[in-house]
Amino acid sequence: MLYTEKILKAIKFSAKTHNHYQQQLRTGKKIPYITHPLTVGIILSLAKSPEDTIIAGILHDTIEDSAPDYKVTAEMITERFGKNVSDLVLSVTEQDRKLSWDDRRKEALDHISNFSNDSVLVKSADIISNVSEIYDDSCKKSDKIFERFAVSKEKTLESYRKIADALLLKWPTSPLSDDLKDILNKIEIMKNK
């Protein structure tokens, strides 16, 4: 079976976390946030990732972005989806949201050297989803779309470039390496607009 009960459970859990409890939207848009983790799950599925990796992709932002009154923990994910899924979600979760944007990005970048192949896949799918959406928006609305982010266009794109480069360095032959290279091209196009 390809569409398992565990995947359906993960979709419901992610939807409840992002949409039911907090009506979360994509940054600066009126699009429900749940579209992002579902896109990550689709990318992982198309890359023929294992079930737990697809589920981790669907859940990848649940700890980081859950509402304070409905905080998702690693223990909750372990209980519902198993330790492997929980470990994968934790591997791509920002560890300290109180740090400055620059420090959080540096920590995330440094952490990639310790990634398993499945963590590389989850983070790659996350980056592919985010940058593809930014690229599509920038083609329609030019650089105005960067006003919705906490930092400048240059810092945003440079951060994504560094992460994509680190992921390619960690696993050059990953099933998503061609997609990451495409993302790097899109970043260059946006930088030069």
CATH number for 62: 1.10.3210.10
Per-residue pLDDT reduced to its tens digit, 52-73: 999 999 999 999 988 889 999 9
Residue carrying the six token digits 């981790």:
56
Spatial CA neighbour of 11 closest among 60, 78, 66? 60
Per-residue pLDDT reduced to its tens digit, 139-161: 987 788 898 888 999 999 999 99
Name the E strands within the chain: none
Report the alpha-carbon distance of residue 180 to residue 177 in Å, rounded: 5
Which tokens sit at 17?
């976390």
Quote the pLDDT of residue 112.
Answer: 97
Q: Is-contact 58 49, C-beta < 8 A?
A: no
- What is the number of domains present in the chain? 1
State whether residue 73 is helix, strand or coil. coil
Which tokens sit at 59?
């859940």
Report the alpha-carbon distance of residue 71 to residue 65 in Å, rounded: 9
DSSP 18: I
Quote the pLDDT of residue 47.
Answer: 98
Question: Domain range holding 173?
Answer: 5-191
Task: For residue 88, count CB atoms less than 10 angstroms from its CB and return exposed for 0-12, middle for 13-18, buried for 19 or more.
Answer: buried
Quote the pLDDT of residue 9.
Answer: 98
Written as one letter, the residue type at 41 is G
Quote the pLDDT of residue 109.
Answer: 95
Name the stretches of the chain with pLDDT < 50.
Answer: none
